[in-house]
Amino acid sequence: MSCNVAIGGLWHETNTFARDATGLGAFHAYQFARGAELLTRYETVRNEIGGIIAGARANDLQLAPTLFAGAVPSGIVTREAFEELAAMLLQDLIAQDALDGILLVLHGAMVVDAYPDAETELLERVRGVVGDTPIVATFDIHANLNASMVEYADVLIGYNTYPHVDVYERGVQAAQVMGQIVRGEIHPVTAFESLPLLSVPQAQATSEPPLREIMQRRAEIQAAPNVINASVAVGYPYSDVARAGMSVIVTTNGDATSAQEYACELREMIWEHRRDFRVTNAPVPEAVQHAIASTNTPVVLVDVADNIGGGSPGDGTVLLQAMLDANAKNAVITLADPKAVAQAIEAGINADITLNVGGKTDSMHGAPVPVCGRVRLISSGEYVHKGSYMTGQTMQMGRTVVLDCNGIDLVLMERRTLPFDAQQLRSLGIEPADKNIIVVKSAIAWQAAYGDIAREVIYVDTPGVCTANLQTLPYQNVRRPIFPLDVM
């Protein structure tokens, strides 16, 4: 017997240290689909929505599409944007007939100027509309979770990988779990444990220590009899909110004791490794000189503090200036700078121009840099992910220009664009494997794009809102004491 299950969601990773607020337009510009369009747009995309669609079909669930909206990680979401999007989602839920369940795609680190815990606010509203109808939600591995989310959702399922290459599978899992719930095959009970521990994205790669061993144990627990789901949320340290930090969720089929025991075991294992999450990065001049001298190419210079996937502006110039000063050759770097893009397009193809690039959003990521270059290419900036992350999803850089700056390919984009797929460069005629130096404005997720070709990787101590030096950020709202801000 087919069941009627709603699908929708609201997704944003909020960097509260970023200057610019995130309004409604940011959601429309990145991911926004409502009604039937939600299904047609994402059914061939390997993200959570695509996984839910495939899982629903395999579990005889009839999907009732509502609203899904997501924005590139950025500053605090405006209350106006949240209220409008939440109202759309609730209206669409109310309009559905006899729902048997709700499947939601959430992030877990959204912050709204009126709601520091936006996902809990949204789940509470959804619960108020649907009553006891089962709710299953996915969340990002960087979620800052709290007990209230567990209260309002029947099952919460997090990504198990970073880079996020399992999001499709988590969508499939969510639909499968929903099918088991509505058929009466399982009765979920959940244990939740939170840790006073902030870790930076650079230390959160799930295939490397310290998380590798933790995630291996998580997988063993997941495979245990009666366990429905086990998730470790590594947290997002750039949201200055009370719930920030790492956490554990274990859901079993009616076995509260086992759920709590497993959750506590994972919590203690993480806490024992807390000092292993600290990182030290290379100073900018040394990193650039080492990359230039290396014969083990391509060398990836990781601009961790201008991590677009963490909410930075993507216009940090510190590494660009250092490479120009050092006369780097056969290198590529991207910058989000719509003003510079417009100037280059006005000059035209093959024009030699001089202009100031980057450093226009704030004073945290370097000053504008004067560059001289030839306009080699002008593009619409559209490409489709072909790699392991969000396969099939169309990305929009906005109008994009490639400048040849005396051996450095400088890619200027109108929009900040996540460097998660090599098609970003290949769509511009740049083969990353042929470069000596690739600069990525990311922390770990760049590995989905360039991990297979990188011969050497240098994490660079650049300045910005995603710095690995958490002690330099002006925290006001995180719980205290918390490691590593306090001695624990």
CA distance 177 to 312: 35
**pLDDT tens-digit map of 23-77:** 999 999 999 999 999 999 999 999 999 999 999 999 999 999 999 999 999 999 9
Residue 456 pLDDT level (bands cut at 50, 70, 90): very high
The domain segmentation of the chain, as residue ranges, is 3-277, 284-467
Contact in structure between 218 and 160 (CB atoms under 8 Å) = yes
**pLDDT tens-digit map of 310-327:** 999 999 999 999 999 999
The pLDDT of 253-280, averaged and rounded, is: 98
**pLDDT tens-digit map of 335-391:** 999 999 999 999 999 999 999 999 999 999 999 999 999 999 999 999 999 998 889
Q: What is the pLDDT of residue 389?
A: 84
Whether 473 has a pLDDT exceeding 80, the answer reads yes
440: left (phi over 0), alpha (psi -120 to 50) or beta: beta
**pLDDT tens-digit map of 98-107:** 999 999 999 9
Per the DSSP assignment, residues forming a β-bridge with 301 are 439, 458
CA 278, 283, 286, 287: dihedral to nearest 10 degrees? Answer: 60
Whether 15 has a pLDDT exceeding 90, the answer reads yes
**pLDDT tens-digit map of 389-407:** 889 999 999 999 999 999 9
**Average pLDDT, whole number, for the chain?**
97
Q: What is the pLDDT of residue 469?
A: 95
Q: Which residues contact 286 (CB under 8 A, 6 or more apart)?
A: none
Residue 1 pLDDT level (bands cut at 50, 70, 90): low
Fold annotation for 3-277: Rossmann fold (3.40.50)
